[in-house]
Amino acid sequence: MTASGRYAAFAVPGDLVEADGSVTPGPHHQVPPCRHFPECGGCQLQHADDWAYAAFAVSRIAGALAQHGIETDIRAPHLSPPNSRRRATLKAQRTVSGVLLGFYAAKSHRIVDMREDFVLRPELLALLGPLRTLLGHVLSDKAAAEIQMTVIDGGVDLLLNRVEPSGIEAMDLITSFAAQHGIARLSIDQGFGPEPLYEPEPATISLAGVAVAFPVGGFLQATADGEQALSQAVAEATRGRTADLFAGIGTFALAVKADYAAEAARDAVLALKRAARAMTVEHRDLYRRPLDVAELARFDSAIIDPPRAGAEQQVRALATSAVERIAYVSCNPATFARDAALLVAGGYRLDWVKPVGQFRWSTHIELASCFSRGE
């Protein structure tokens, strides 16, 4: 976007936009490293150097807050390096010319067949060729599948969605593939829920030095360094007796040794209960039954890490509570800003925001923040 409000595709600050709309690259315009850019929808900002990418992250958050009249200290962003993402969901389809495996094209359901990538970790990239071969044997013609890949303690956790192997031979191919490539766990979901087919050792993920059972298809922060940056920010923002709301499998609860954790996903609750027996862990849907003011009175700090929709009802309860400090982690600056306005109206001060770019070269920006009152 130029100063006059004119939109120029694939321009970054410092570029020169000519009268005909062409772009003359400036000092922060880089050559995209991947041959699939910009066709592939996995990345939108490979033409921006780190300075421009960081500036974009800050502006996304500042702009969202400004719409609610809020200004605060926005710290220097943490940007995950290339080839650091440890989880991805790829699309796969068998065609007459072979198996397509990759991300969708931008604004499309057409699969861009991934032949190189500068985002995923090497362990995931190493599986792309073998996966194409496997899927060529077990996918039916024109069948579309979804492949979830996550790097955990023992290797790659692989979930094949909408893959329907026919016969014992196909099942043997799948388990042989898992053994040959050191897969930590391989599961299949044929439409009735995921079923582990291969798991030589219990699948775990280490969080703050604690091995936690990792649910099939479970959620994990996209990069290990991004997880660390968010956890450090949460630790800085909290003190005293702490409640972790929308706790998942305990990424932040374990990092700060929280006293209480609430989560709606049953498998995540069971995993955290087994890993942190001294912590009170409650199976609770915070959208339907948020903690009320009386329940929140037990805590000095609260951590809140809701889905992209934010957590308006839980935030309304926090805004009227006596909780002194709130660490709010968000994957959506717009709903974060909406919820931040409710907290500010309730007497909280937004002390700072830490942007985190875990999804390298993507417009998807995450953040951790600190709210306080009475200080």
Cα distance between residue 51 and residue 28, in whole Å: 7
Q: What is the 3-state secondary structure (H, E, C) of 164-225?
A: CCCHHHHHHHHHHHHHHCCCCEEEEECCCCEEEEECCCCCEEEECCEEEECCCCCCCCCCHH
Residue 33 has pLDDT above 90, yes or no: yes
Q: What is the 3-state secondary structure (H, E, C) of 20-35?
A: CCCEECCCCECCCCCC
State the DSSP string of 298-351. T-SEEEE---TT--HHHHHHHHTS---EEEEEES-HHHHHHHHHHHHHTT-EEE
pLDDT at 6: 65
pLDDT confidence of 125, banded at 50, 70, 90? very high
Residue 7 has pLDDT above 80, yes or no: no
Work out the mean pLDDT of the chain and round it to a whole number: 94
pLDDT at 2: 55
pLDDT confidence of 22, banded at 50, 70, 90? confident
Closest CA to 60 of 367, 309, 370: 367
Residue 355 has pLDDT above 70, yes or no: yes
pLDDT at 18: 83
- Catalytic residue, from 34, 43, 331, 370: name it: 331
Token readout for 166 is 């026919």
Task: Based on the residue annotation, tell me whether 370 is a catalytic residue of this protein.
Answer: no
Cα distance between residue 100 and residue 88, in whole Å: 16
Residue 374 has pLDDT above 80, yes or no: no
Residue 375 has pLDDT above 70, yes or no: no
Residue 34 has pLDDT above 70, yes or no: yes
- From residue 365, give the alpha-carbon distance in Å to each of 55, 87, 187, 286, 317: 12, 16, 30, 24, 26
Place of tokens 């099939």: 216
pLDDT at 4: 61
The mean per-residue pLDDT over the stretch 262-287 comes to: 97
Which comes out higher in pLDDT, residue 273 or 141? 273
Q: What pairing do the DSSP bridges indicate for beta strands 301-304 and 98-102?
A: unpaired
The mean per-residue pLDDT over the stretch 68-74 comes to: 97
* CB within 8 Å of 283: residues ≥ 6 apart: 263, 264, 266, 269
pLDDT at 3: 59
The mean per-residue pLDDT over the stretch 129-148 comes to: 89
The mean per-residue pLDDT over the stretch 3-20 comes to: 80
Tally Cβ neighbours within 10 Å of residue 40: 22
pLDDT at 278: 94
pLDDT tens for 325-351 read 999 999 999 999 999 999 999 999 999
pTM over 0.75: yes
Residue 128, SS3?
helix
